Amino acid sequence: MSIESTNPATGDVVDSFEATSDEEREARLERATETFSEWSETPIETRQRLLARAADVLRENTDEYAELMTEEMGKPIGQARDEVAKCAWVCDYYAQNAAQHLQDEVIAGDENARTVVAYQPLGPVLAIMPWNFPFWQVFRFAAPNLAAGNVGLLKHASNVPGCARAIEDVFDRAGFPDGAFTSLLIDSSEIDAVIEDDRIRAVTITGSDAAGRAVAETAGSQLKKSVLELGGSDPFVVLEDAPMEETVETAVQARLINNGQSCIAAKRFVVVDDVYDEFVDRFIDEMAAQTVGDPMDDATDLGPQARPDLMDDLHEQVAETVEQGGELELGGEPMDRDGAYYPPTVITDVPENAPADREELFGPVASLFRVPDEAAAIEKANDTRFGLGASVWTEDLERGERVARQFESGLAFVNELVKSDPRLPFGGVKDSGYGRELAEHGITEFVNTKTIWVQQDAGEETDMIE
């Protein structure tokens, strides 16, 4: 079977690839298992050195990888270059810090015993990854897990097969052993069979909450560890003392980054009454000023949606919200041009329980809510089944931190858009999933946290500090 990738800006076929056959899938699983036996015993210094080399490969081929991402899923080319740089950063981070994160932890216990916590790799880990950040979301899984001594198998989204193959090639060029990181070009219907395979020891997914539930159910039935990074409907809370110029500028960026297709994009803008009208007027003007066009053009702010069917789903959510009483202030119709283009769109007076209130709108659509005060803003921010990120805007930083602590989210930012950073744990709560990626927390998700007790003779004094 052949898999085609299609340029969403033009509708042209970018490339075609042969799907992984059942026989080839079996061979790749077996090779990954054999490689794990070797890789898990490889000194961590060697693993770190190879990760640093992977970072070099990424930087040396930035334009190639950025253009591939833009061709396959439509992100603006400047953002694609930034994505490659961020992938190199996460490789550098674990190349520098993995050994420290995974060093044995000596813990005081019985006075006649030496008690240690060791962090040991689990084995082959399956990663099910989405199309919206086709390099970054793979590398934020791969870098810590390869550093920890696991091996990775990637089931990437079907519309970015070229990215899947290119990422596999990055690790090959960097000198990783064959089987350390393997791409499986398989259909979603084959995922359960891979998860259920005894050689797979854990699974992680970044995707919709529906997909996460299905993966978690299968993994749970096999008693296999899972990490779920799922959808979000992040609130962007604007208080009456917000620095308005900076707030509006960042609000537009937070909504439209990656053509609006980001789990941690600001989607629900919750604004207190005192500054609501000013914010709305400025926000609409800034959204309307964004340049929609060819994602290969550096001047473009907003490119196409990744697939025509995704644009159709988004428009259906917008139309239903308006039909229920939402006020369309800007945009709201697919653009009359080639490609899957949807314009910057703003909806006010969003009715309770309308799609723009309750669902994740995965595209350049902003939902605005007027609230009387801070307490109501927090209540509205938390009035969602999602809990990935949230931000609050205020001149009073102590107030901002107090509000941030009240958000029901895995990430909370004050006077900054929600973003991921290799140095900080990333993940959500509620229907946005569980588990953490990145930082020390991420590298210890898929390891055996093993307690080791070494009993000493009763008369022998144990140095618990050493």
Q: Where in the sequence numbering do the catalytic residues fall?
A: 229, 263
Paired strand residues for 328 = 347
Residues in the chain: 466
The H or E element spanning position 237 is strand 234-238
Cα–Cα dist 77/378, whole Å: 36
Rounded to 10°, the helix 62-73/77-102 angle is: 120
3-state secondary structure of 6: strand
Give bridge partners of residue 453 from the DSSP assignment: 115
In whole angstroms, what separates CA 192 from the centre of its chain? 22
The b-or-e profile of 108-141 (16+ CB within 10 A means b, else e) is eeeeeebbeeebebbbbbbbbbbbbbbbbbbbbb
Q: Tell me if residue 216 falls in helix, strand or coil.
A: helix
Helix or strand run (H / E) with residue 205: strand 202-206
Distance CA 398, CA 44 (A): 41
Q: In a 10 Å sphere around its CB, with 0-12 CB exposed, 13-18 middle and 19+ buried, how is residue 19 labelled?
A: middle
Q: How far is CA 1 from CA 21, 320, 457, in A?
A: 8, 38, 65
